[in-house]
């Protein structure tokens, strides 16, 4: 398929091993060099129907994974790790789709320690989120940790993940200097965690306001949120 871009756009941000591209990940990923990323850590948009949060949820049950997976596989190194956050609604569907490209090893659980506010009149409160862990090749675990992750940090933006949760994923599967991809970076948590842990990272985000937020977070000497 012909890429919609003739070449990569200029980076929105490029400093100290951290690069941000502002644009559609499905347009930018085909222009990135193949097999360069040691890990892919991302929280793709999938949409959730709730009574409370519809004003900022984009796409009713939107599912970008089938379109993104071929690119993620191409971009991963010969021994790359994949970490992908997901909703319980997509557990069965996404595990099958991911298994066509990556060898799926675990479904990790992020225990939020509180309900997320996403619940309805006929459902229990959501207090956890799943994280797929898969491999391309035979990348070994660097730091063993329980498959239930917890965080002491608060978040500020919709669907944002705590930096220490992302940090645990980074430490488990990468070394200092390794390169990480987050094609749906949101407010830049993966990039900030990568910077703090001495890794390089490339992030892609379609909404410029979140690119701006990510740049501000990367500039903080000590991350406030």
Residue 152, judged by CB atoms within 10 A of its CB (0-12, 13-18, 19+), counts as exposed
* pTM for the predicted model, two decimal places: 0.86
Range of lowest pLDDT (57-66, 166-175, 192-201, 202-211): 57-66
| CB within 8 Å of 55: residues ≥ 6 apart | none
What phi and psi, each to the nearest 5 degrees, are found at residue 9? -70, 165
pLDDT at 109: 95
Provide mean pLDDT across the span 45-64.
Answer: 50
In angstroms, the CA 65 to CA 19 distance is 23
pLDDT at 118: 58
pLDDT digits (tens, 9 = 90+) for 77-117: 999 999 999 877 778 888 889 999 999 999 999 998 776 55
pLDDT at 64: 84
Provide mean pLDDT across the span 166-182.
Answer: 98
In angstroms, the CA 79 to CA 39 distance is 9
CATH code: domain 13-219 is 3.40.50.150
């Amino acid at each position: 398929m012909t890429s919609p871009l003739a070449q990569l756009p200029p980076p929105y941000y490029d400093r100290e091993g951290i690069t941000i591209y502002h644009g559609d990940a499905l347009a930018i990923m085909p222009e990135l060099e193949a097999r360069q990323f040691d890990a892919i850590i991302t929280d793709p948009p999938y949409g959730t129907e709730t009574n409370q949060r519809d004003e900022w949820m984009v796409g009713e049950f939107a599912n970008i994974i089938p379109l993104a997976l071929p690119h993620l596989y191409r971009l991963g190194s010969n021994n790359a790790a994949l970490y992908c956050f997901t909703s319980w609604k997509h557990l069965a569907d996404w595990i099958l789709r991911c298994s066509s490209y990556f060898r799926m090893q675990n479904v990790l659980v992020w225990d939020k320690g509180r309900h997320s506010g996403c619940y309805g009149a006929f459902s229990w409160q959501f207090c956890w989120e799943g994280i797929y862990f898969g491999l391309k090749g035979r990348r070994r675990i660097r730091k063993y940790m329980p498959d239930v992750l917890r965080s002491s940090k608060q978040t500020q933006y919709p669907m944002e993940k705590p930096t220490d949760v992302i940090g645990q994923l980074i430490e488990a599967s990468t070394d200092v200097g390794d390169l990480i991809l987050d094609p749906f970076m949101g407010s830049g948590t993966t990039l900030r965690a990568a910077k703090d842990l001495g890794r390089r990272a490339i992030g892609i985000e379609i909404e410029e306001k979140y690119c701006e937020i990510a740049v501000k977070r990367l500039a903080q000497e000590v991350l406030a949120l």
